[in-house]
Amino acid sequence: MTSLALPAGLRVFERGWLSSNNVLFLGDEPTLVDSGYVSHSEQTLALVAQALPDGQPLARLVNTHLHSDHCGGNAALQARYGCRTWVPAAEADPVRHWDERRLSFEATGQQCARFTFDDTLSPGDSMTLGEREWLVLGAPGHDPHALMLYSAVDGILISGDALWERGFGVIFPELDGESGFAEQAAVLDLIGQLDVSRVIPGHGKPFDDIDGALTAARARLDYLQSDPARNARNALKVLIVFRLMAEAEMAGATLKATLDTARAWRSAAAMLTPPSGWPGLLDTLVAELAKAGALRYDSATDTLYAA
C-alpha cells in the first residue's frame, strides 16, 4: 500500500507494471477500481480480502479502461463476490459479445478471462465512492475510451494511464493511423485545469507533484509527437517486456510469431521498417532491452527471460 496520506477508507494497492494499481474504497458498498492482469488474479483476490472488513463482500468493480492489465482480474472478482461491474460505455458492446479484437487483447497478444458488466460510465457521469462524489472524466490518448475519476472535495485524481509521475501509457491509437497525440495533450491540459493535489496513477506510486508530472508528461509527448516512429518503437518495447513479464520466458521464434499475428505489434513494426525487416527489428529491440536490463537473452538457446 502507498505511504502518501489519503482519506480514511481509501486503499491503494501498488502492483508494479504487469498489473495496474488497484484502488479500494471501503464503506457501505466496498468498490475496487481496476483489477490487474489475469495471471495475478489470485494476488488481487488476496489483497482485496485482506483489506475488507471480516465478512463484508466487494460490492462494486469499476474499470478506468479495458486494457488487459486493468481488467484481467474482473472475472475472478465477479466469481468470488458477484460484484456489480461498471465499464466505459463505449466498451459495452465488445464486452457483451466478447470481441477480443475490439477489446485490444488480440491486438496486443495479451490474455484476459471473459467477464460481464452491469452498468456503464461516460464522461460527465458521477458516482459515490466511499463517502465522496467522484466525477467521471474522459481520458482519450492512451486508449480512446479511457476514463479518470476526480474528487473535487479531496483534490484526488485516479488517472489510470493518462498521467503517471513521469509519463503516461503508450499512445495506441497512433499505431492504427488514428489521432492520439492531440487527445493526450488535451487530457494533460484538462488535468492542469483541475484543482488536483494528489494523483493515484494506474502504475507507480501515488504522487503530489502535479506540476512536475505534467511537465514531464508534456515533454514526453512532444518527444513522441515530433517523430511518431518513436511512439511505435516504444510501443513494441513495452509489448515485448509485458509479454515476458506475463510468461517469464519465451523462445525467440514465439516472439517473432507474435509480431506476425498481433495487430498492434504489426502496426508498430510497419511504422519502422518493411515486413522483410521485422526479424532484424526484433533482434535490435531485444538487444537494446537486454542492454538496459529490461530482459535477459540467451543467444545459445534463443530464449528471452523476464528481468
Please report the sign of the dihedral spanned by the C-alpha atoms of residue 95, residue 97, residue 103, residue 108. positive
The predicted-structure confidence for 215-267, as pLDDT tens digits, reads as follows 999 999 999 999 999 999 999 999 999 999 999 999 999 999 999 999 999 99
- Return the domain boundaries, the chain: 10-225, 228-306
End-to-end CA separation in angstroms for the chain: 23
Name the residue type at position 169.
G
What is d(CA 137, CA 146) in angstroms, rounded to the nearest whole number? 9
Segment 191-212 shows an average pLDDT of 98
- What is the CATH topology of the domain spanning 228-306? Arc Repressor Mutant, subunit A (1.10.10)
Name the residue type at position 291.
K
What is d(CA 262, CA 267) in angstroms, rounded to the nearest whole number? 9
Nearest CA to 173 among 123, 231, 227, 223? 231
What is d(CA 205, CA 17) in angstroms, rounded to the nearest whole number? 11
Nearest CA to 199 among 186, 219, 184, 214? 214
At the fourth CATH level, the homologous superfamily of domain 10-225 is: Ribonuclease Z/Hydroxyacylglutathione hydrolase-like (3.60.15.10)
What is d(CA 34, CA 47) in angstroms, rounded to the nearest whole number? 13
The predicted-structure confidence for 182-193, as pLDDT tens digits, reads as follows 999 999 999 999
Domain 228-306 in the same topology as domain 10-225: no
